[in-house]
């Protein structure tokens, strides 16, 4: 048996591939377009491993995807492929429409054709698991109940709107064609191999380089934080036991404001990599102009996946963030290699001090 993973060179996808092959002998066909955030160096430990077949390509390329499906006959497709950075979606929404909506449509068409031609037993066992985000639900007030699976979709950025559209397409293909789908909506992931445009790795990279630590607005935007390996275990559980057509919210039960995250990272760096001059990393915090339409609070109610599938995160935020900072300190070459000239240019133009 084999699974097809799309977007398997990105942050969550690559962690999933590594985690899967650490626990299973079942091969992975890994399809990734290798945009700026796709990094084969993350998968370097799998070089020469016959269980991992990497293919560069686009989920919207029907000929390529259909060829992979027919050649490898996977029992499941797990779709991580997405443009996922809100800031970039504000500046270049077309890329998000193309990948997250048009690309997902193309993938669904390829998978539907493949699934329709399977023998009855294989057809009954097949699954398409679509990985999405809590941002499709919009923003919460400070006293609002956390997002449940029945919460109304109210996306507020081009990124979240494009992911909401992809979720709707996946749902429609189940109800219209009977395609056996599962959807997960996760909260903010963090952990090893995270591209340093996102909050936690950006803070670590900048802190170590002696650069300002840019914090949007007042830093009181609240997010739920999920350690990436916990997310991987949740996806495996949903793939194995989830009910067809269902949505499962995956969260870490860790609501924290951004400024608290930044100060926690600074404190860990003070402990694990203290500055030679004895000063504190928190002195590098710099408040910058808030981004347009910045959602104030996200919170995931992950009680359904616990109730139905028995899943809960293994890491607390305290244990997960320590492991994350330790990983970045132990892997300076990986950090240096992903910070290309294009990445540096992006950071300079995006974070403008107030």
**Which DSSP letter does residue 289 get?**
P
- Please name every residue paired with 31 in a beta bridge, in sequence order, or none if there are none: 6, 55
Active site residue 135: yes
Angstrom distance (rounded) from CA 185 to CA 222: 17
Angstrom distance (rounded) from CA 210 to CA 126: 50
From the candidates 32, 83, 87, 135, give the one annotated as an active-site residue. Answer: 135
Q: Are strands 247-250 and 181-186 parallel, antiparallel or unpaired?
A: parallel
Q: Are 136 and 185 in contact (CB under 8 A)?
A: yes
Q: Are 272 and 325 in contact (CB under 8 A)?
A: yes
Cβ burial of 43 (10 Å; 0-12, 13-18, 19+) is buried
Angstrom distance (rounded) from CA 203 to CA 208: 8
86: left (phi over 0), alpha (psi -120 to 50) or beta: alpha
Select from 98, 45, 13 the least CA-distant residue to 3.
Answer: 13
Q: Are 239 and 248 in contact (CB under 8 A)?
A: no
From the candidates 32, 87, 114, 159, give the one annotated as an active-site residue. Answer: 159
From the candidates 134, 197, 230, 295, give the one annotated as an active-site residue. Answer: 134
- Annotated active-site positions, please? 134-135, 159
């Amino acid at each position: 048996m084999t699974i097809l993973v799309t977007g398997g060179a990105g942050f969550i996808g690559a962690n999933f591939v590594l985690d899967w092959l650490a626990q299973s002998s079942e091969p992975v066909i890994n399809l990734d377009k290798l945009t700026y955030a796709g990094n084969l160096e993350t998968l370097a430990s799998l070089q020469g491993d016959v269980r991992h077949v990497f293919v560069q390509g686009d989920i919207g390329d029907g000929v390529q995807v259909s060829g992979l499906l027919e050649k490898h006959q996977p029992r499941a497709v797990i779709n991580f492929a997405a443009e996922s950075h809100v800031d970039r979606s504000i500046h270049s929404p077309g890329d998000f429409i193309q990948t997250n909506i048009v690309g997902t449509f193309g993938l669904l068409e390829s998978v539907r054709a493949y699934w329709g031609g399977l023998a009855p037993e294989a057809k009954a066992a097949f699954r398409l698991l679509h990985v999405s985000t809590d941002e499709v639900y919009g923003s919460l007030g400070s006293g609002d109940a956390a997002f449940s699976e029945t919460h109304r979709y109210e996306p507020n950025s081009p990124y979240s709107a494009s992911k909401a559209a992809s979720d709707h397409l996946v749902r429609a293909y189940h109800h219209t064609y009977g395609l056996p789908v599962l959807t997960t909506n996760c909260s903010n992931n963090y952990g090893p191999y995270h591209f340093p445009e996102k909050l936690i790795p950006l803070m670590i990279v900048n802190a170590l380089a002696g650069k300002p630590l840019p914090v949007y607005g007042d830093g009181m935007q609240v997010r739920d934080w999920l350690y990436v390996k916990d997310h991987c275990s949740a996806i495996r559980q949903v793939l194995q036991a989830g009910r067809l057509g269902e949505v499962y919210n995956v969260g870490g039960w860790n609501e924290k404001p951004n400024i608290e995250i930044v100060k926690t990272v600074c404190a860990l760096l003070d402990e694990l990599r203290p500055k030679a001059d004895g000063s504190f990393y928190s002195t590098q915090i710099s408040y910058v102009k808030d981004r347009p339409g910045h959602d104030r609070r996200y919170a995931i109610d992950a009680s359904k996946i616990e109730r139905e599938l028995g899943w809960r995160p293994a890491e607390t935020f305290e244990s997960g963030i320590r492991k994350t900072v330790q990983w970045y300190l132990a892997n300076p070459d990986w950090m240096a290699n992903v910070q290309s000239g294009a990445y540096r240019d992006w950071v300079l133009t995006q974070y403008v001090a107030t």
